Structure 1
């Protein structure tokens, strides 16, 4: 465990076990140099405890880098609640998690993530003020999608010479709250949509409402397209899949898309432009961080517009240095976080 922490340069790892509610929770705090750690709470089943801890640590590191390059006064953290096979009272479980957060005295602020909802955040808010994405604060998904859409425009301009998305074939992998909102924006500007999701109902909805072309989940990565937009769970780009990509660029909302940094180097060698995930998908973090601080929606929207500019700068550095945008983004974030 400590080896994982040292490799990721993690500040702290907190564990909680509450048999009365079934809570088994992990909070990873990566870096608080810029401010309190902020990051979502996942509520998922894991094959074992180590997998859950590893997920929390990797995601917390990504949140630090995301906050740094988004220009936020926040550190990076992430929470994982291991979803039990059966829970008697979900509200009580999340209230117990709220007490865990409160015990950290403001070092960590939580938000929605995979498997959690604004209703869960409302339960947490019964026990602590260090929470956002509540019903009152609003779901950040639409703002994540707005940022990814702006990032896709920047990526198209850098790789294809124009930010006009009309007629471009964009493959959206995952049609959750963010993926579907992104697909709607792409459809509105005339992009040709290829979509996949494990939920056949979501795919059918995209076919009917957006004129999307359905593609089997296992075949989407090998389908020719201009831009691949991963919007599901992480690890989609790995040693097995990267050689099968048939796209000009990868630009999507998924956290931790790369199984390793070397995958980005392989994409660079193949001429596939990669939008660093924690840069292009930072719209949700920007929204929850600034909303928690009491900023107005116009101020949040203005800050969101910086995503495109940041990506354009990263692409320019990458081209000049002849290396992957992922390596450039990491170096910029680490300079901010560690000096």
Structure 2
């Protein structure tokens, strides 16, 4: 197993390996950076093919959380944890209580939250062993359901409107054509907000029932998952898998803006440069999809949803700063976003 030589290792402060023989727990906790505060990041349970794959994933994801929290103006650093196992067959309450003990041993430098393969119920088990858990709903605010999806969608909506203002001179979405790829929790909430704002929706998802619901509720136009990236529209909102903006799809794009919820939309960094050269404005995904992280933080702090939403609305200012800098310096928005995040969390790069 390699940690320091893994391509995703980026000056991580701490990487912890923990196990519990009685429950079968095998977990890795990565703390990337705590300059702004304790690291926050979800706990992902996944049947990794190898331990090296799990190491790479936790290093990559924890680094991403540092950048996301910094650009969301949160007093948090970046961390992540992974549990090696199949969430469909290997989950037990005892395993997650053991995970809670592992988190507790990190001493508050890492705050765990829900992620792929874990649930609010799993977080409750972890919380029985440690206070360092985010997103636990205490029921004090009736507007808080425990589901971060609407908050993630709201951040994307705010970022998308700011992109429209920058590109088209107005954030009025009435009659703008927005192609939404993916109608999961976040994608569907985003569609609802776009519809309320008067946008014309084009949608695609592998789940035909979700597509038909969007057609009936929002008057959306349905296209296949193969067509959605090449439709003639004003805005493309990728809300499904990552890596959808690549050499093949860029050639087919017929939109002026890309602004969606999916993580890691660019297959490679160079695709950000290709979008800039093609005249397509890209709202960096980890900037505008940070609403869920904001809600996890405010929920943990015991603050009302109204304050969560006010903070999320601040995403517009960050997006605007990124667009302005990118235009002035003739750089890709993704490159500028990374540098702005590093300014905020105080990364000092060594001279070449």
Residues 80 and 171 from structure 1, CA distance in 2 versus in 1: closer, same or farther, beyond 3 angstroms? farther
How far is 1:31 from its partner? 0.6
Tell me, in whole angstroms, the C-alpha distance in 2 between the residues paired with 1:279 and 1:42.
Answer: 21
Aligned to 2:4: 2
Task: Kindly indicate whether the alpha-carbon contact (under 8 Å) linking 1:196 and 1:214 is maintained by their aligned counterparts in 2.
Answer: yes
Aligned residues, how many?
339
Q: Give the secondary structure class of the aligned counterpart of 2:80.
A: strand
Cα deviation digits, residues 47-105 of structure 1 (max 9, x gap): 43333332222221111111111111100112222342763543222222222211111
Aligned to 1:310: 318
Q: Structure 2: which 5+ runs fail to align?
A: 140-145
**Taking structure 2 as the reference length, what is the TM-score of the superposition?**
0.89
Task: Kindly indicate whether the alpha-carbon contact (under 8 Å) linking 1:21 and 1:89 is maintained by their aligned counterparts in 2.
Answer: no
Aligned to 1:40: 42
**Taking structure 1 as the reference length, what is the TM-score of the superposition?**
0.93
Aligned to 1:197: 205
Alignment partner of 1:141 out of 119, 140, 149: 149
Q: Give the secondary structure class of the aligned counterpart of 1:41.
A: strand
1:1-339 alignment, distance < 5 Å: 1-4=3-6, 7-84=9-86, 87=89, 89-136=91-138, 138-337=146-345, 338-339=347-348
Residues 108 and 219 from structure 1, CA distance in 2 versus in 1: closer, same or farther, beyond 3 angstroms? same
Q: Give the secondary structure class of the aligned counterpart of 2:175.
A: coil
Task: Kindly indicate whether the alpha-carbon contact (under 8 Å) linking 2:45 and 2:87 is maintained by their aligned counterparts in 1.
Answer: no
Task: Kindly indicate whether the alpha-carbon contact (under 8 Å) linking 1:62 and 1:256 is maintained by their aligned counterparts in 2.
Answer: no
How far is 1:19 from its partner? 4.7
Q: Give the secondary structure class of the aligned counterpart of 1:287.
A: helix
Tell me, in whole angstroms, the C-alpha distance in 2 between the residues paired with 1:50 and 1:222.
Answer: 36
Residues 295 and 85 from structure 1, CA distance in 2 versus in 1: closer, same or farther, beyond 3 angstroms? closer
Q: Structure 1: which 5+ runs fail to align?
A: none
Task: Kindly indicate whether the alpha-carbon contact (under 8 Å) linking 2:9 and 2:59 is maintained by their aligned counterparts in 1.
Answer: no
Tell me, in whole angstroms, the C-alpha distance in 2 between the residues paired with 1:287 and 1:2.
Answer: 33
Tell me, in whole angstroms, the C-alpha distance in 2 between the residues paired with 1:83 and 1:169.
Answer: 42
